[in-house]
Amino acid sequence: MLFVCEKAKEVWDLANIPLPQNGFSRNSVFLNFLHLLKIYNSNEGDPNTRSVFPWLVWEVWKARNALAFDNKTVSAYTIASRAFEEASSWQKTMILKTNTEIVDVVVRTEENIGWIKPPSGCLKCNVGSSWVDPHHPSGASWILRGEDGQTIMHSRRSYSFMRSKAEADLWAMLWAVECMHNTHQVNVIFEASSEQLHNVLCEPLHHLEFTGVVQSINQLLNGINGWSLDHALQERNEAAAAIAVSVTRDRRYQSYMAQHEPAWLHQLLSLEASSN
């Protein structure tokens, strides 16, 4: 009934799936399915056509039941059309499900990525910035850590009259670079999570309004023996960001530079130091 009755033959012809040389077997359903699986795994013809056979079998079976139990006749064309529609719907669902799973994995992985220690012989200076609007002081911060993850020193300061987040981010970077230069640090990896900062420093000719501060950053960097400037995910920059946010959120406008770590971030910094 699935392969060799007149209605089934018409359905398989309409589906345009390559048939066995002598046609489907009348005696072995197993051989017929083996042939279909071989076609499915081959590179012959349209892959969407090769993969539709489970739905063809299912729709033939449903048409048989409609005739047997409801006395309804379903045309071969309708059977084949329904099979292709169901196959297409299933394939789209599987693609969507796969893409969703990939996104979930990426999100979970990104969430699990925290601050990463610098390589041996290097220091890492994470830079933070917080900006609300031009009428409120912006926050700038940096935190310097060694290859063991321990905090060497940190700083916080506020800036007034920052016209945009990009400007606030640039002045925060300038403050960090200036402090590293003035304290004679070497082999420093600067990390910031600001997209605006990244865009301005990579394409300064497209942001001529920031020419002065960009030139100052570059001049100070030239005075540091060994440095790199990297973009980091926000999850890798939590401590510096928290210090900067304390300016705008808690109105801590007093600027300072201090050894070791701020007491209120001890738990986070200890966790990051021991995590990798």
- Flag the least confident range among 72-76, 81-85, 215-219: 81-85
Which of helix, strand or coil describes residue 200? helix
pLDDT greater at residue 95 or residue 55: 55
Q: Looking at the chain, how many residues does it have?
A: 276
DSSP state of 24: S
Taking every pair of C-alpha atoms in the chain, what is the biggest distance, in angstroms?
Answer: 92
CATH 3.30.420.10, the chain: domain bounds: 123-275
Q: What's the rounded Cα separation, in Å, for the pair 149 and 68?
A: 75
Pairing of strands 256-259, 151-159: antiparallel
- Average pLDDT (236-244) is 93
Roughly how many angstroms between the first and final C-alpha of the chain, as a whole number? 64
**Band of the pLDDT at 171, cuts 50, 70, 90?**
very high
Model confidence over 179-198: pLDDT tens digits? Answer: 999 999 999 999 999 888 88
- pLDDT of res. 101: 45
Range list of β-strands (E), 136-193? 138-145, 151-159, 188-192
DSSP state of 206: G
Q: Are 53 and 84 in contact (CB under 8 A)?
A: no
- pLDDT of res. 93: 63
- Average pLDDT (205-221) is 91
- pLDDT of res. 46: 64
Q: Span 123-275: which CATH code? A: 3.30.420.10
| DSSP symbols for 209-274 | GGHHHHHHHHHHHHTSSSEEEEE--GGGSHHHHHHHHHHHHH-----EEEES--GGGHHHHHHHHH
In the sheet that holds 138-145, the strands lie side by side as 227-231, 188-192, 123-130, 138-145, 151-159, 256-259
| DSSP symbols for 30-55 | HHHHHHHHHHHHS--S-HHHHTTHHH
150 contacts: CB under 8 Å, gap ≥ 6: 273
